[in-house]
């Protein structure tokens, strides 16, 4: 195991955290749009994410690209092995992008149809990505040649579905908090109710999933018992989730949103340190794909690191600028 392989494992985890925190809120808004009855409210919900969602989604594309660039066997095995799930995810992402764009040009019943597509596709993306992570923690039937052979029932095993639903509760909380920050009037009041309800489900599911994971992947539990320092990650998750709950009732929402982001980072960090260095655990551990046996050459990892170290700080810089430009009321973001 070289330092470059460790750095790249961590970087991909960081990209997934960035994705989940940022695209997570606009996916969560998508889920809640299913419960908005008035066209004006649904328009307002989409307007609240309109200038941001595209940039947020790039975090997912970057995570996929980075996995290809750093650990091609992992990229190849997951994307071809989980073909039906990945293709469904892809079609959901395509339809979601189309729905956000074309709902802006539609009115009346057509607008209703597009926002329904937006809501359903957002929810599907959340559950599928959660289920994908669930499958990674659960372990996959890897062969000696690095291929995964699994059917749709295998992909939709109960543990994967549980993580999918946890993801939905988590991002529903996150998205409702975002709507509270950006929404106006009635939608703001609705989002306040939603964030409280979703948080309770989220907290219960997070604890339950944590306990069940110890049974599903005992090797993970052993790692935490062997290295007490690793408990920092679940501690961060618990702290984030708890502070979110404590801040929920206050008028100023941003601290709760920030705490929710910390909770997301903590949960993903828990999965990452629990798996490390394994990236795709095989049901037969000898065939597991790890950050070592799947890594690219050191030259490639170093070159890519330079690109990332130059690129990502710039990305963070202008992303913060853009969020500042579009702070406040979203009524000029309904239609460009």
Partner 1 sequence: MDAALLARLQFALTVGFHFIFPPLTIGLAWFIVGMLAWYRKTGDEAIRRIARFWVTLFGITFAVGVATGITMEFQFGTNWSQYSRFVGDIFGAPLAAEAVLAFFLESTFLGVLLFGWKRLSPTAHLVAGVMVAFGSTLSAFWIIVANSWMQTPAGYKLDPERHRAVLTDFGAAVFNPSTWPRFLHTVDGALITAAFFMLGVSAWFLLKNKQVAHAKVTLTMALWVGLAASVAQLGLGHWHAMQVAATQPLKLAAFESFYQDPDDRPGAPLLLFGIPDPKHDRVNMAVYLPQGLSILAFANPTAAVKGLNDFPRDEWPPIEMSFYPFHLMVILGMFFVAFTGLGVLLLRGGRVFTARWFLVPALLAIPLPFLTNELGWILAEVGRQPWIVYNVMKTGDAISVVVSATQILTTIVVFSIVYLLLFVLWIGALRHAMHAKADEVEPMPAAEAEGVTG
Nearer to partner 1, 153 or 228 (CB): 153
Contact status, residue 29 vs residue 195, Cβ threshold 8 Å: no
Structure tokens at 52: 């941001």
Q: For residue 171, give both structure tokens.
A: 């991002």
Residue in 6, 10, 39, 68 binding partner 1, rule: CB under 8 A: 68
Q: How far is the CB of 57 from partner 1 (least distance, A)?
A: 7
- Determine if 84 is a binding residue for partner 1 (CB under 8 A): yes
Phi then psi dihedrals of residue 189, to 5 deg: -65, -45
Q: Which of residues 48-67 bind partner 1 (CB under 8 A)?
A: 50-52, 54-55, 57-58, 61-62, 64-66
Residue 90 near partner 1 by CB under 8 A: yes
- Is 67:12 a contact under the CB 8 Å cutoff? yes
Cβ(307)–Cβ(315) below 8 Å = no
Helix (H) or strand (E) holding 289: strand 289-290
Residues 6+ apart with CB under 8 A from 66: 8, 11, 12, 15, 304, 308
Closest of 70, 15, 36 to residue 184, by C-alpha: 36
Interaction with partner 1 in 298-327: which residues (CB under 8 A)? 299-300, 303-304, 307-308, 311-312, 315, 318-319, 322, 325-326
Contact, 290 vs 279, CB < 8 A? yes
Task: Confirm or reject binding of residue 297 to partner 1 (CB under 8 A).
Answer: yes
Kindly write out the interface string for residues 134-173 of this chain, putting x where it contacts partner 1 by CB under 8 A and - elsewhere: -----------xxxxx------------------------
112 binding partner 1? (CB under 8 A): no
Closest CA to 22 of 261, 302, 291: 261
Tokens linked to 194: 């939603």
CA 168 from chain center: how many Å?
10
Would you say 82 or 230 has its CB closer to partner 1?
Answer: 82
Among 80, 219, 242, 283, binds partner 1 (CB under 8 A): 80
Applying CB under 8 A, which part among 87-95, 124-132, 212-220, 245-253 lies near partner 1?
87-95
Q: Could you list the residues that contact partner 1 (CB under 8 A)?
A: 50-52, 54-55, 57-58, 61-62, 64-66, 68-73, 75-81, 83-84, 86-87, 90-91, 93-95, 97-98, 100-102, 105, 145-149, 296-297, 299-300, 303-304, 307-308, 311-312, 315, 318-319, 322, 325-326, 332-333, 336
């Amino acid at each position: 195991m070289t330092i470059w392989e460790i750095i790249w494992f961590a970087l991909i985890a960081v990209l997934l955290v960035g994705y989940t925190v940022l695209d997570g809120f606009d996916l969560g808004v998508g889920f809640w749009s299913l419960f908005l009855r008035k066209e004006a409210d649904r328009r307002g919900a989409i307007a609240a994410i309109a200038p941001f969602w595209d940039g947020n989604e790039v975090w997912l594309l970057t995570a996929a690209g980075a996995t290809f660039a750093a650990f091609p066997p992992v990229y190849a095995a997951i994307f071809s092995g989980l073909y039906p799930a990945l293709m469904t995810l892809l079609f959901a992402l395509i339809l979601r992008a189309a729905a956000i764009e074309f709902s802006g040009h539609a009115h009346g019943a057509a607008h209703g149809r597009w926002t329904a597509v937006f809501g359903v596709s957002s929810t599907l993306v959340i559950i599928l990505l959660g289920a994908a992570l669930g499958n990674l923690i659960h372990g996959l039937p890897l062969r000696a040649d690095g291929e995964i052979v699994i059917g749709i029932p295998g992909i939709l095993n109960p543990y994967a579905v549980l993580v999918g639903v946890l993801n939905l509760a988590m991002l529903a909380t996150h998205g409702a908090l975002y709507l509270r920050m950006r929404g106006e009037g009635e939608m703001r009041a609705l989002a306040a109710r939603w964030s409280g309800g979703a948080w309770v489900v989220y907290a219960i599911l997070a604890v339950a999933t944590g306990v069940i994971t110890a049974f599903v992947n005992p090797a993970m539990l052993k790692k935490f018992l062997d290295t007490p320092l690793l408990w920092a990650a679940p501690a961060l998750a618990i702290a984030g989730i708890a502070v979110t709950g404590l801040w929920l009732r206050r008028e100023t929402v941003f601290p709760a949103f920030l705490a929710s982001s910390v909770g997301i980072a903590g949960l993903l960090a828990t999965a990452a340190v629990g798996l490390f260095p394994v990236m795709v655990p095989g049901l037969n551990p000898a065939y597991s794909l790890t950050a070592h046996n799947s890594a690219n050459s050191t030259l490639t990892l170093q070159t890519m690191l330079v690109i990332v170290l130059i690129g990502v700080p710039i990305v963070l810089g202008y992303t913060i600028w853009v969020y500042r430009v579009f702070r406040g009321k979203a009524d000029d973001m309904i239609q460009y």
